Structures are given as C-alpha cells and as structure tokens.
C-alpha cells in the first residue's frame, strides 16, 4: 500500500484542534445536513452514548438549510463545529468540506437521518484499531421498526442493475445475484465491497491514500466510487454487524424526489463509465431507458386511475424523460 503519508489536499495532519499539543481526537464525525433539523438533532443527541470515552470532534456541514437547522444546532450543541457554505454542495462536496477540517485519527461519514446505537462508533473504532490493514468499516443498519437493512453491498453488476430496475417480486432482493450478503454472519465481522453511505468509518491513512470524494457525484454512488478507490489503493473494507445504527433513510432526498431520481441515474451512469467497458455501459443504458419507458407508462396509468395528480404525473414523466436522455 503506497501513499499512506500523503494526505489529500485540504486534509490536515492529525493534531489537536487548538494546536496546543494535546492529543488528536480519536474520531472526527462529519455530518452533512440539508433541511433535516429534527433528525440532525436526534443524531447529534445519540453520539454521546455511541462514542463513550472516545475523544470526538463533530463537524456538521449545513448545505443551505432553510428550516432553522444552524440556529438549533448552535443552541443545543455548542461544541459542534458548524460549517455553513451558504449553498448546497451535495453529499460529496459537503463531506469533503468536513474532511478538510477533520483532525481525528479516524473519520466517520454519518448521515443526519441516523441514530448510532450505544457504543456503536466505539466498536467501529476499536475494530479498526485491532485490524490495522483494514481501511474502513460499516455497521449493521436497521430501520426505525428494528428490521434490518442490507449489511453490505457488492459493486454493481448488470444483474444488479436489472433487478433494481425490474424487481421480480422481491424474490431476488436479498441474494448474491443482487449484490447482497445473505449468508454473512451477524455476530462477527466479514469483508464487503462497500457499506451504505449512511455510516462509513475509515482510518485516516486510508482516506489519505484514497483522496476526497468525487464531487462530480452530486448525490448517490459517491460512496461506491470512494470505496472502490479505497480498495484499489490497497485498503480492504469490512462490516461489523454487532455495531448497530438506526437509519431513517431518504429524508433529505424526499424533499425533491423527482430531481433526486434524475441525480441517482446520472451518478450511476458516471460510475459505470468510470469502471466498466463500453459494452457494459451500453447494456446499462439500454436497461435504464427501457425502465424509464415503463415508469412513464406506469405514471400515466396511475394518473388515469386517480392515483396521481396532474402535477405528480408531469414531474414523474419529465424525470423519466431526462433520465432516458442521459
């Protein structure tokens, strides 16, 4: 593994925030928020129990929220370092702004719609401390009702693309064909290609070798690309399912669902072009275009049955058209 001592632009050497020679934080937590005030406050409130005795710095990058998030964060959590760029930098850009300020030995990219459970982040840090060759680790994610989300993912294949665009009644949802780990243990760690971007905890050296997130991904697929580059740099990624994080999921993107649907497929196409040969990209585009024709037809049928308003139907059909033309 090369390049471990060369930190990417903007990532400071690990040191005390005040420069006074005190020990560096064990963990820097970076949270990117956008109009998720109550969820962000709940996430911040959960961190004390999730980090225990760790020395922690928390950095919140607020992407131009209009719901009073910055004021509420300052009032409730004065120690949090709040960054306000004044505009929406996207998920990758916001995390890079936080990483540029991080001084911890480990860094955690944490979504604002998560609630790390007691000792979860402590366990993830302890896992990386015990396994110095591993670059990053993800927890087990749970829905608010306690049901389990996917514990890890494989890098996308054409089979995964097909099953995502054309679900076959859920029969293949939790299978290897769909890039999941159905037989993975739940009581011990195991290697994965990448975790969901809701919570990724990485060692500083691995971040240095990988570089910042690619801001060409405004939303979605940025963690897939980042983890793939991390693995290419020689840093494996694992899952620690005994560390649990509740993930509410999709709270920011739901505010602009049609736009985010387009961004999802724009980012996926960017990822396919970067890591796959032209025949794969052509096949992925054909599958996506076929799916968009289907989705547009479904929207029209739902509108005729009264299940969608004229505005909802228009937004969905327009989004499908934009994706078709990507």
pLDDT of residue 15: 52
In the chain, what are the domain boundaries? 27-151+186-249, 254-324
What is the structure's pLDDT at 237? 98
At 206 the pLDDT is 98
Nearest alpha carbon to residue 22 among 103, 97, 83, 79: 103
Coil, helix or strand at residue 136: strand
For domain 27-151+186-249, the question of CATH label 3.90.550.10 is answered with yes
pLDDT of residue 197: 92
Q: What is the DSSP string of 153-196?
A: BPPP-HHHHHHHHS--TTTTTTSGGGT--TT--SSS-EEESB--
Q: List Cβ neighbours of 7 (8 Å cut-off, separation of 6 or more).
A: 13, 204, 207, 208
Q: Which regions of the chain does DSSP assign to beta strands (E)?
A: 27-33, 56-62, 81-83, 106-110, 114-116, 136-142, 190-192, 199-203, 237-247
**Full pLDDT tens readout for the chain, 326 residues:** 333 333 444 455 555 555 556 788 999 999 999 999 999 999 999 999 999 999 999 999 999 999 999 999 999 999 999 999 999 999 999 999 999 999 999 999 999 999 999 999 999 999 999 999 999 999 999 999 999 998 899 999 999 999 999 988 778 888 999 999 999 999 999 999 999 999 999 999 999 999 999 999 988 999 999 999 999 999 999 999 999 999 997 554 444 588 889 999 999 999 999 999 999 999 999 999 999 999 999 999 999 999 999 999 999 999 999 999 99
Would you state the pLDDT for residue 3?
A: 35
């Amino acid at each position: 593994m090369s390049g471990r001592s060369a930190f990417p632009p903007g990532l400071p050497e690990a040191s005390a925030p005040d420069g006074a020679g005190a020990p560096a934080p064990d963990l820097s937590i970076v949270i990117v928020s956008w109009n998720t005030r109550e969820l962000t406050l709940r996430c911040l409130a959960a961190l004390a129990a999730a980090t225990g005795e760790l020395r922690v710095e928390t950095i919140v990058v607020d992407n131009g929220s209009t719901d009073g998030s910055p004021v509420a964060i300052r009032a409730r959590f004065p120690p949090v370092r709040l960054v306000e760029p004044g505009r929406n930098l996207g998920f990758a850009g916001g995390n890079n702004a936080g990483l540029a300020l991080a001084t911890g030995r480990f860094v955690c990219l944490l979504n604002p719609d998560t609630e790390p459970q007691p000792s979860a982040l402590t366990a993830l840090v302890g896992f990386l401390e015990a396994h110095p060759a591993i670059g990053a680790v993800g927890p087990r994610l749970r829905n608010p009702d306690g049901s389990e989300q996917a514990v890890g993912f494989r890098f996308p294949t054409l089979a995964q693309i097909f099953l995502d665009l054309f679900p076959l009644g859920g029969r293949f949802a939790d299978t290897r064909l769909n890039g999941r780990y159905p037989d993975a243990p739940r009581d011990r760690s195991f290697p994965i290609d990448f975790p969901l971007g809701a919570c990724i905890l990485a060692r500083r050296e691995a971040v240095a070798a990988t570089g910042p997130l690619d801001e060409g991904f405004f939303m979605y697929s940025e963690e897939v690309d980042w983890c793939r580059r991390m693995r290419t740099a020689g840093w494996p990624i694992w899952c620690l399912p005994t560390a649990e994080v509740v993930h509410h999921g999709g709270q920011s993107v739901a505010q602009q669902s049609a736009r985010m649907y387009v961004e999802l497929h724009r980012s996926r196409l960017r990822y396919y072009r970067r890591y796959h040969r032209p025949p794969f990209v052509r096949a992925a585009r054909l599958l996506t275009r076929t799916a968009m024709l289907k989705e547009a037809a479904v929207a029209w049928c739902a509108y005729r049955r009264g299940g969608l308003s004229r505005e909802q139907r228009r937004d969905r059909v327009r989004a499908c058209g934009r994706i078709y033309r990507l």
